[in-house]
Structure 1
Amino acid sequence: MESIQESFNKMPGNKKFQQQYQEMKKAIMADADIRAFIEEHDEVDDKMVDRSLARLYEYTTQAKRCEGCPGLANCINMMQGYEPELFINRSVIDIRYNRCPTRMEDEKNKKRNEMIQSYYIPKEILQATFADLDDEDPVRVEAIGTAIQYVEEFVPGETSKGLYIHGGFGVGKTFILGAIANQLAKDKGVRSQFIYTPDFFRQMKSAIQDQSIDAKLDYLKETPLLILDDIGAENISSWVRDDILGALLQYRMTEGLPTLYSSNLDYSLLEEHLAYSHKSGIEETKAKRIMERIKHFTTPVFLEGKNRRV
């Protein structure tokens, strides 16, 4: 393979090209990473450098180690999210591109996010972390501590008990559930399904028409961690209570699968809510049956504080 230098020597009136070539080579050889590579490889000589000049020039134009990284979307490298690495390829110095730290972290985050599926949950909740929680308010410290302890003690495939986080409007119940889901996905690879309960129950009613109820319900029954957000805010009916919620919780109780809840209602008020439906009136026994499945497999956590939505 003929080097660039040899090609220039054959060209008529090559002084201009020679000058440009030497300036480019000088700039390339001034690159600290290139100099370090050459020093580490005794087989590299001037001829190999000349043959490799085009690839070495490409190397100098690429960012390495994500220095000054503007983010994947604005990565300046030829292959976004990949950084160059020099290696000896027979008689030339060549380049291969490897995933950079930013891309690897991005892929890791995407994989974690894919583990948290959701129905009608805002994006910011799905990205919540414990670091984002305001624990300066003393009345919230205990609840947040309980949530953190739950994550620390969670054993995939063994933990069967969940949390029932209740309190007023806008105090951060849903955000804490999001932080739990994210931390469990990150630390222990736990896949979860996060549901805004009122909208989900409405969807289940509409699923009667396309006969997809069983498939949707089976998926929720078997998910490793189920999160029912804002339970008690839905318009209850005997069908939703008994055939959807009851069947769902019965299966998860039998299989030892944990469920987390948030609600504006404590256990007693939720039981009253579940007991009443417009068509069937008050059915206390059926409501108690549901509540036994919730109370026996959750730890109540009261969260108070100011309404953070106003």
Structure 2
Amino acid sequence: MTPIQQSLMNQVQARHQSPQFQATVQKVFQDAGVQAFLSAHEGELTPERIQRDYSKLFEYYHEKDLQARGQSTLAPGYEPRLVLNAGQIDVTYTPSAELIAQQKATEIANRVERIEMPKVIEQASIDQFYTSGKFATPSRQAAQLAALQYLAQHNPTQNEPGLYLYGNFGVGKTYLLGAIANELAAQGISTVMLHYPSFLVKMRESIQDGTLAAKRQHVSEAPVLMIDDIGAETVTAWGRDEILGVILEYRLHNNLPTFFSSNLDWEALEQHLAEDNKGVVEPMKAKRLMQRITTLSKLVTLEGQNLRHK
């Protein structure tokens, strides 16, 4: 503490004889932030001004002390800062590094809309995909590379196909889609992820409240769309033609990136889509849908142990 600061502290202490008050004043003036502020503005602040504005110095010190002890503050997530405003001492509050990081993480997370998707994919990371150790397989390594190449080359203005991840249960298809979506979110790109069988149920329910068209359009227009577990649904003419067909048609004509995951390869998926739950077989409708899927994506096969049993 400089001699001038010592003198100022003594003057403030002299206003009150309470030992507790005087001890607090000493702590305030010994604070490194307070000392730095007074030194920076030594030529601008009179002793009278400092005495009148001591409450601001105390506020600054007190809020910092509460933060250091992990207690509730006047402005949670914000750090106090002393400023000179029109010749008067004041305290402003700026976002802390932790708050900024939290806001950024929330902003990124909000760029991925998940419709009936497992919670685990919220933390999915391409770096954590099983490409080393006992669960590694050449196809998992190839799938990771395909994902990384897509992320490196992604350009919203180009008609760039997404990925169609095909493989058995538990090989990591959904996790890899989630990892891609999270990385795109970090790049500022929004994604809608949906579990296709569950999505169809929700769409049928939305007929009752008249929101079906709006929800279908919302999914159709998503900057990036990921359709998880296609081929696991019960095929109905309505779901195939009025939901999937309309969504894929829009995305194809508007060059919108689309990803898929499935337990079925393209040939098996075409057979699946050809026959509805009433036994009606319409191979041309299935073929038309597959033309859109194969244009919108490229096939990537995933093989390996079931990671759900690891």
- TM bin, normalised by shorter chain, reads 0.7 to 0.9
Cα deviation, 1:240-260, whole Å, max 9, x if unaligned, reads 112211121111111111111
> Matched residues in 1 for 2:25 and 2:68: separation?
25
Aligned match of 1:58: 59
Kindly provide the amino acid, as one letter, of the partner of residue 210 in structure 2.
Answer: Q
Pick closer, same or farther for the CA change 1:202–1:101 going to 2, 3 Å.
Answer: same
> Matched residues in 2 for 1:173 and 1:61: separation?
52
Cα deviation, 1:179-237, whole Å, max 9, x if unaligned, reads 111111211x2121111100111222233333332222111111111110111110011
Pick closer, same or farther for the CA change 1:223–1:75 going to 2, 3 Å.
Answer: farther
> Matched residues in 2 for 1:127 and 1:277: separation?
36
SS in 1 for 2:80: strand
> Matched residues in 1 for 2:54 and 2:100: separation?
30
Is 1:83 the counterpart of 2:84? The answer is no
> Matched residues in 1 for 2:21 and 2:239: separation?
77
Question: What RMSD over aligned residues (CA atoms) do the two structures have, in Å?
Answer: 2.6
| 105, 108, 132: which one aligns with 1:109 | 105
Alignment of 1:115-126 (within 5 A): 115-126=111-122
> Matched residues in 2 for 1:116 and 1:102: separation?
22
1:78 is displaced (CA, Å) by 1.8
Aligned match of 1:226: 225
Kindly provide the amino acid, as one letter, of the partner of residue 48 in structure 1.
Answer: R
Partners of 2:131 and 2:137 within 8 A in 1: yes
Alignment of 1:193-272 (within 5 A): 193-272=192-271
Aligned match of 1:38: 38
Cα deviation, 1:251-310, whole Å, max 9, x if unaligned, reads 111111111111111111111111122214332222111111111221111122221222
Pick closer, same or farther for the CA change 1:7–1:225 going to 2, 3 Å.
Answer: closer
Alignment of 1:137-148 (within 5 A): 137-139=136-138, 140-148=140-148
> Matched residues in 2 for 1:288 and 1:190: separation?
31
Pick closer, same or farther for the CA change 1:249–1:61 going to 2, 3 Å.
Answer: same
SS in 1 for 2:307: coil
Pick closer, same or farther for the CA change 1:244–1:21 going to 2, 3 Å.
Answer: closer
> Matched residues in 1 for 2:34 and 2:13: separation?
23
Deviates most, 214-223 or 279-288: 279-288
Partners of 1:238 and 1:280 within 8 A in 2: no
1:173 is displaced (CA, Å) by 1.0
Cα deviation, 1:118-166, whole Å, max 9, x if unaligned, reads 2111233133222332331243222112112111111123244111011
> Matched residues in 2 for 1:23 and 1:159: separation?
70
Query: When the two structures are superposed, what TM-score results if normalisation uses the length of structure 2?
Result: 0.86
Aligned match of 1:130: 126
Partners of 2:270 and 2:286 within 8 A in 1: yes
Aligned match of 1:274: 273
Partners of 2:191 and 2:225 within 8 A in 1: yes
Kindly provide the amino acid, as one letter, of the partner of residue 22 in structure 2.
Answer: Q
1:175 is displaced (CA, Å) by 1.2
Query: When the two structures are superposed, what TM-score results if normalisation uses the length of structure 1?
Result: 0.86
Cα deviation, 1:12-48, whole Å, max 9, x if unaligned, reads xx6x42x444322221122112212222223235443
Kindly provide the amino acid, as one letter, of the partner of residue 84 in structure 1.
Answer: P
Partners of 1:143 and 1:302 within 8 A in 2: yes
Deviates most, 127-136 or 249-258: 127-136
> Matched residues in 2 for 1:211 and 1:56: separation?
59
1:77 is displaced (CA, Å) by 2.7
Partners of 2:12 and 2:51 within 8 A in 1: no
SS in 2 for 1:257: coil
Pick closer, same or farther for the CA change 1:197–1:156 going to 2, 3 Å.
Answer: same
| Identity, % of aligned positions | 36
> Matched residues in 2 for 1:24 and 1:249: separation?
69
> Matched residues in 2 for 1:46 and 1:122: separation?
63
Aligned match of 2:4: none
Where does structure 2 lack aligned partners over 5 or more consecutive residues?
Answer: 1-7
Partners of 1:166 and 1:262 within 8 A in 2: yes
Count, aligned residues: 297
Pick closer, same or farther for the CA change 1:211–1:305 going to 2, 3 Å.
Answer: same
> Matched residues in 2 for 1:293 and 1:165: separation?
16
Aligned match of 1:301: 300
Kindly provide the amino acid, as one letter, of the partner of residue 91 in structure 2.
Answer: I
> Matched residues in 2 for 1:214 and 1:20: separation?
69
